[in-house]
Amino acid sequence: MGLKTGIVGLPNVGKSTMFNALCENAKAQAANFPFCTIEPNVGIVAVPDPRLDVLSKISGSEKTVPTSVEFVDIAGLVKGASKGEGLGNQFLANIRECDSIVQVVRCFEDGDVVHVAGRVDPVDDTDVINFELALSDITQIEKRLERLKKTKGKSGEEAKRNEVEAAALQRIMAALEQNKPARSVDLSEEEAELVRGLCLLTAKPMVYAANVAEDDLASPADNKYVQQLQAKAAEEGSGVVVVSAQVEAELNGLDKEEAAEYLEALGVQEGGLKSLIRATYKQLGLLTYFTSGEKETRAWTIKDGFTAPQAAGVIHTDFEKGFIRAETVAYDDYVTSGGMGAAKEKGLLRLEGKEYVVQEGDIMLFRFNV
């Protein structure tokens, strides 16, 4: 599906350290997955899913293929970025194309790593970034409203649509002016569709990644910076994931045993990257379904609400066009009965038609003709 997540934040908060760790980790996780850094700042990362190995074992699959998310690393944004200050502005356009945003927030102290404002203050930092994102959106909306005014009176149909769009944009503008993101504005389906083209930054789902020092990873709740960030995120209704970019970077240089020892010494199971990837995936309203056989077990990404033919279309458009039915087993049923055949014997295999809405974890076999 080509899901993209943009990494934003102030300079020197650990964005690239985290991005590199994500990509390195992905390479190490599954050798047969095509992880490449597409461009120096774009990388494909596997979505960790313990169910994959379970299914793969049951089916005796030769290959196991996870689903993926693309991450885009950009230069740090500074005050005035939306008006062209600093390097980050050139990259805001890259973030527009993304489906979601991870905002890296510095929650670690380190005298050797310069903070642009000279002090660690996560709430203030997020205010700066969110303000720049909002300003950039305001500029986009102003331009669009101008255009809509000019094209006002064409056909009745178009004029009506333009009116609906303009009204929605004005509501979003009002929210932005009160320091609220576009995503906080309730839009009808029609309105949402009409404003989608603008790719508003603050309309995208966002997760804060609290980048903490290694000593804080075990009990992040004791870190006052994390507390401050969490309080702010709770007010906004956004999520916080605690990661240590530094720890993740170091883990990549270690073999499995050394990595386990290191994590144990820190008192944690993982450095937070997996949680971050999962959180990113979840906030996009995505589901995973599986195909599983001797050749491969594979995870596929779909949007919540996809019907069986739409889900089949993710594999191949022919599957969608020629869709006949989907042999479907729920994940738990598959595991307890021990495979597709066994599930069928127990009456746990369902024949689902065109209207079926795919459920999280379904294992599916599509029947189609072309």
Ligand X SMILES: Nc1nc2c(ncn2[C@@H]2O[C@H](COP(=O)(O)OP(=O)(O)OP(=O)(O)O)[C@@H](O)[C@H]2O)c(=O)[nH]1
Q: Which residues bind ligand X (CB under 6 A)?
A: 9, 11-17, 75-76, 108, 110, 113, 211, 213, 244-246
Q: Select 111 or 347, whichever has its Cβ closest to ligand X.
A: 111
- What are the residues whose beta carbons fall under 8 Å from the beta carbon of 293, sequence distance 6 or more? 59, 61
Least distance to ligand X from the beta carbon of 311, Å? 37
Question: What DSSP designation does 151 have?
Answer: T
Question: What DSSP designation does 359 have?
Answer: P
213 touches, from Mg ion, ligand X, none (C-beta below 5 to 8 Å by class): ligand X
Q: Which residues bind Mg ion (CB under 5 A)?
A: 15-16
Query: Which single residue brings its beta carbon nearest to ligand X?
Result: 76
14 annotated as belonging to a binding site for a ligand: yes
- The partner residues of 327 in beta bridges, in order of sequence, read 351, 365
13 touches, from Mg ion, ligand X, none (C-beta below 5 to 8 Å by class): ligand X
Q: Which of these, 315, 329, 281, lies nearest to 58 by C-alpha position?
A: 329
Least distance to ligand X from the beta carbon of 264, Å? 19
Q: Select 15 or 106, whichever has its Cβ closest to Mg ion.
A: 15
Separation in Å, CA 333 to CA 142, 152, 177, 195, 352:
53, 56, 51, 42, 16
181 touches, from ligand X, Mg ion, none (C-beta below 5 to 8 Å by class): none
Least distance to ligand X from the beta carbon of 211, Å? 5
| Distance separating alpha carbons of residues 294 and 325, to the nearest angstrom | 21
103 touches, from Mg ion, ligand X, none (C-beta below 5 to 8 Å by class): none
17 annotated as belonging to a binding site for a ligand: yes
Q: Which of these, 204, 273, 206, 197, lies nearest to 24 by C-alpha position?
A: 273
Q: Select 185 or 245, whichever has its Cβ closest to Mg ion.
A: 245
Length of the chain: 370
100 touches, from Mg ion, ligand X, none (C-beta below 5 to 8 Å by class): none
Q: Select 11 or 293, whichever has its Cβ closest to ligand X.
A: 11
60 annotated as belonging to a binding site for a ligand: no
Q: Select 165 or 248, whichever has its Cβ closest to ligand X.
A: 248
Separation in Å, CA 169 to CA 56, 139, 194:
48, 12, 10
Query: Which single residue brings its beta carbon nearest to Mg ion?
Result: 16
Least distance to Mg ion from the beta carbon of 36, Å? 19
118 annotated as belonging to a binding site for a ligand: no
Q: Select 41 or 140, whichever has its Cβ closest to ligand X.
A: 41
For residue 121, which amino acid is it?
Answer: D
212 annotated as belonging to a binding site for a ligand: yes
HSE-up of 180 (CA within 13 Å, CB side)? 14
211 annotated as belonging to a binding site for a ligand: no
246 touches, from ligand X, Mg ion, none (C-beta below 5 to 8 Å by class): ligand X
Least distance to ligand X from the beta carbon of 240, Å? 15
Least distance to Mg ion from the beta carbon of 16, Å? 3
179 Rama sector, left if φ>0, alpha if ψ -120 to 50, beta otherwise: left
Least distance to Mg ion from the beta carbon of 73, Å? 6
Pull the structure tokens for residue 136. 């950039």
Instruction: For 206-235, give the secondary structure using H, E and C.
Output: EEEEEECCHHHCCCHHHCHHHHHHHHHHHH
For residue 22, which amino acid is it?
Answer: L
105 touches, from ligand X, Mg ion, none (C-beta below 5 to 8 Å by class): none
Q: Select 98 or 326, whichever has its Cβ closest to ligand X.
A: 98
Least distance to ligand X from the beta carbon of 344, Å? 50
67 touches, from ligand X, Mg ion, none (C-beta below 5 to 8 Å by class): none
- What are the residues whose beta carbons fall under 8 Å from the beta carbon of 86, sequence distance 6 or more? 11, 75, 76, 77, 78, 80
- What are the residues whose beta carbons fall under 8 Å from the beta carbon of 179, sequence distance 6 or more? 130, 131, 134
* H or E segment to which residue 27 belongs: helix 15-29
Residues in the annotated binding site for ATP:
12-17, 212
Residues in the annotated binding site:
12-17, 212
